[in-house]
Amino acid sequence: MGKFKYLLLIAGAVACSAVSPQKAQAQIAVQIGPPPECPYGYFDYAPYDCAPYGYYGPEWFSGGVFIGAGPWYHGREHFWGHVDNHYDRHDGWHGEYPRRGEHYDEHRQPGRYENFRGNEMRDGHGHSQLGPQHEHGGEHDRGEHDRPHN
């Protein structure tokens, strides 16, 4: 009878542990996928449309390759580069943008500009030295001390 009580006790413990609430472990994974394939770079805010020729200054390119923007930015830390925001629809541009997968025009190679005239500096993460009114969904906010001054 002792073995029976012992087995009954073990079966009861197993049954109790099976019905006791288990702690759920939650994991969140965010995958953004590959960067947009654009001939002259892409904007640093969603939906990451392709930027037209002349939006980004030459410092945004390394060997003719765009250094990235938004979640795909892979330039140096504390980088601020020139852009010409006249080509941004948030600042009034109504022209066309290149489509994803489109290749650059041979006469307009990425990062090669004769007379580039930027009017704004951006950091690759959606921040502008012109302030929050020009930040179109950056990844995080920075204080004014981190912004370059012209």
Copy the structure tokens of residue 97.
């943008």
Angle at 132 between CA 128 and CA 134, to 5 degrees: 55
Write down the pLDDT at residue 117: 86
Q: How many CB atoms lie within 10 A of CB 39?
A: 21
Write down the pLDDT at residue 82: 95
Write down the pLDDT at residue 86: 93
| Blockwise average pLDDT, block size 10, the chain, 150 residues | 59 57 63 90 95 95 93 93 93 92 86 86 91 55 42
Decide: helix, strand or coil at residue 64. coil
Task: Show me where the domains of the chain are located.
Answer: 55-142
Write down the pLDDT at residue 141: 38
Model pTM above 0.85: no
Write down the pLDDT at residue 143: 39
User: How many CA atoms does the CB half-sphere of 106 hold within 13 Å?
Assistant: 0
Write down the pLDDT at residue 18: 55
Write down the pLDDT at residue 150: 45
